[in-house]
Structure formats: C-alpha cells, structure tokens
Structure 1
Amino acid sequence: MRFEQFTIFQPAESRGDMSFGGDFTDNPAAPTTGSSSFTGGAFATFLLGIPDGGDISSLHNIDYHRQIYAGYAEDDWKATDRLTLNLGLRYEVFSTIKEHNNELATFDFNSLSLVVPKGQDMPLTPFLASLLPIQRNASRGLISPDRNNFAPRIGFAYRVTNKLVMRAGYGIFYGGQENGPFSNPSPGFNPPFYLQQTFQQTNCFDSSANPAQEDCSIPNLSVLANGYPASSLSDPNNPQFYSLSPKLRTPYNQQWHFGPQYQLPGDTVLEASYAGSRGLKLYGFYNGNEAAPIA
C-alpha cells in the first residue's frame, strides 16, 4: 500500500497581466488595414498606460491525494530439463484522486451541468448560476475507480543446445502513477473554485470599423494606473470548464521480447533480441468546443 499526495499551487494571473499593442499610438494619417500594419509602438502605448487586453484569476491551491494498493505473486517452474517457465501476476488498485477540501468538479456533457462532490456547497457566481445547473451528489473522486488492473507476466527459457538458449517474455504494466487529467489543467480548476476573467478590446484593428476614431479602450480597464477593478472576479462571464470521462480507465503498456543467447569462447555471450511495446487506454485530451466535421 502506498499513499500519494501532490499539490498544485497555481498563482496564474492572481494580480493580473496586461498586454499593450501599437493601436493606441497609431498614426491617424496612415490608416490601419490590419493588426500587422500598425504604425504605433507597443512600448509607447505602455508608457501612456493604455492596455489593449488583460487577464486576472483567483489564487488557487489544490491538494490532491490518493491510495495505491498492489500485490504480486511469482514462481519459476522447470517444466523439463530444457524448458523453464517464469509465471507471475500483479494486481493494482489506484483509488480515485481526491482533493483535501473537496474543491474539484467535472463538467458533464450529457446533462450539460457541473458536478461536485456530495457536501460541497460553494455557490456558483451569479452569471454561471443563471445558466448552468450544478449537481452536488458525486463521490469525492467524481468517478469510479478502475478495479480491473490485472497484470500477468510470463517468460520462458528453452535450452536448444548446451551453448544456445532461446528466451522470451511478456508482461502488462499499469501507469496509474501518472497524474494525467489531474495535472494542469485539472478538475480543481473548474468554477466555482477557480475564477478567471479576460478583458478584451473591441474591434479596433480596422479603421473602417471606427471611422470616427471612437474610443477603443476596454471598459473597466482603460488606465494602467487604476489596475483591475475590485469586482473583476465577483462575476466573471467567460469561464473555462474541464471534464473527466466517467469511463476513465488506468492506462497500461504491453511489453514483450524474444531472442537467442549463444555462448562464445572466453566467457562471452552473444545475444540478439526483438523487443516491442504497445500503449493502451492512454490519456487523451480534446477540446469540447470544437465543431464536428461535416461532409
């Protein structure tokens, strides 16, 4: 049995970051036709203190932990004078990863709702609460553990002659120690535990969009000296969601090898071997917002 604990401390943009471009110092006499043709300078815009974008997020600390249980049995069996078998079986259980304060969630694509552990009562922000249902009935690990992690091992050595031996082996090895979807990002970065707000500029890249030279500054983020408004994270309206597949299984790797060993003079052995491996049930990530391809 082994207890594993790992912490993700994510300051991110807890004080915010801002970007500065050349649009606010553009030359009015040289109309802009695209974002690559600015005549202004980003550093000059910075000196003026007029940002053209920014991000700010909450300070977040995630304390993950889980238990790992494993057992192994092995035996060598001399079937004949020439053939020896090595047989083994390992069984492993990786408990679902939990967060110390139950501050993790998963987005359910079937019900289009946010799922949190039972007893977790942190509320959603008003904007999210008006759009997104929340289910508070999940287990602490959000999904069920994979209890089918049997890993057989088999090998043999066959003596063809007194100087030539054929050897082969096959085994399954589970990779449950990998954090995978609990690295960064992970379910601990879902609302309402982690909040992020992005401030974006309106379309000012094309002079035809603002023929009267309208004010293109960002509402509530128009001057660097004022910083971000105190209400930046009180009700963000552009959250990001992360989802765990309810069918998530422990990834594993099949490994095998086969080859001869031949004894040469002078206590020297010549060996040639073919080795291969294959990964199965590997972790994968995809963007749930991507449109399905059409014919």
Structure 2
Amino acid sequence: MFIRNWVVIIMTTFSFSLAAQELPSWIFEAKASSDELAAIGSGASINQAKRAAVAEIIAQVSQSVSAESVSVVEKRQEETSQFFKQSVFSETLSIEVNDVTFDKEYVEERSGVVYVRASLSKTQLIRFLEDELTPLATLSFPVRASPVDKVLWSLKFRVTNEYGLRVERALNALGAEKAAMKAKLRDNLAAVVEVWQRYGVRVIADNSLQDVAGLINRHIPSASKTVLWLQLKPSHKTRQQNDTYQHKLDLAVELTQPRTPFRIFRQEHISVVGSGSSAGEAESHALQQLRTILDTPIQNWLFEKGSEL
C-alpha cells in the first residue's frame, strides 16, 4: 500500500512538471537587437499582457524612465510553476499599446495566463521621445519675476521639467542625446530648488482636513517666507439610500495671496462621493478618495485642471 501511494505521487509530480515545461521557448528569449527593443508581457487577459510588455519595453530604455507595472518571467529549473516579478515606479512614459508590434501570443491552458511578445523600433521610439521633448523647449524659468510668480512657475512646471530630463536620459541611452535641452532643463530645476529653499506655500484648512493638508505639504515648498496660501474649503452632505449611506465631499481649493485683498491666482473644485454601511464609514471613504487625488504633485490637480484668475 505504501509503495503504491509513492508511485502515484511520483507520477503526479512528473506529469505536472511536464505540463509546466510546455511554455514555448520564445517566452524566455525576448532579446533586443540593434534596431529594436523586445519584451515579453503576461497577464490574466490579452490587454493586461500587452500593457505589461509595453511597460517592460519602457523600463529597458532607461532606469530613470520607468514603467508603472513591469512583469518579468523568471524560469527556474527546479520549480513547476511560473514566477512573476513586479516592480512599481512612480513615473511613466505615455507610450500607447498601438505604437508597439505584437508578433507572438500564447495562452497557458492550466493557469489561463496570457503571454505576448512585443517589439518596438528604436527609430520609432526616438521619434516619440523627441516629440515628447518638443513642447518643453519653450520652458524658461522667470529669473526676473516676483517671488510669487517664481513660486507659481515652480509649482506648475517642476514635474514637467523632471519628466523632460528623464526623457532626455532615455534618448541618451538610445544614442540620441539632446545636450542643449538637458542643460536648459537642469538650469530650470536648479532655479526651482532655489525657490523651494527660499519661499513657502502655507496650507490653510480646518481640523477635519489636517491629514489632507499634511499630504499636500509633501508636494509644495515649505520655507518660512510664505508668499502664497493654499486655502481648502470643504462642504459635506450625507444621505441614506436603503441600507447604504453616501457622503459627498466638495472641496474648493484656492491659491491666494497670504494677506488682503487675498487675490486668487488659481482655483479648483474637487468633488468625491463615498459610500458605506454607516455615515461615518461613507465619510471616511470620501476622505480616502480625496487623499488619493491630493497626494500627487500639485501640478496634476490644480494647474492642469484648475482655472487661472
């Protein structure tokens, strides 16, 4: 009886190992050439696999221009399952799936995982990156402007300049360095650093939004010489529908002078709706959504979407 069970276990393990080895060899052999970049992507669907492959291609360009979700297949002789390594980065290039060629596809029957092979011409990628840099050529820090205007410019364009430098580094890695653009972007960012060290923006908020104010403070200058106020003015409404509560949080944001007449330079209105089994749970859900929006560079939610007065 003992011997019979032992044989069954050996045969089952052997069969499982064979099944795991049926993945086509190209899944483990994506190699870039002198003319193109190549990558393997995997996911629960064809779209997820394609996005993963595009992300991996982006990550190959430069460690400084990274993809949001990168999946890499690791082949291990001693294991019967497939392993995936995922890395998360804060910035991305906006290369679209349609810009990439997908020439191979495979669906593993046992797991349902989809694999694709993607490739992108280096010439095409260089052209794309150069197009990304073109709009940034006009960015010049306002050296002779007032402190307020210098801070406004820094809040609006700091992230854009950082992105431009990452793009330039990617071009450099592809043999298409843009030295003049790199120098200009570096000069802009050096000026922004000086502004961050000299001037501050103070967040004005009531007690209910102190944690939100703390998140915003990560993304704005905080030197003692305050030249701008960022005023947060919330309003709350709660309603109940059957057993579910909904909480609507409307936040008026104004970037103003720190003294009368409190001239408004930028303003934005943010509205989120939370839900839950209680009024408190619904409000907490709404606040969490607000935190997610505001815990990003201020350029994203005030200067790209907000209005200028």
Structure number having the greater helix percentage: 2
TM-score range relative to shorter protein: under 0.3
TM-score with structure 2 setting the length: 0.20
Larger radius of gyration: 1
TM-score, structure 1 normalization: 0.21
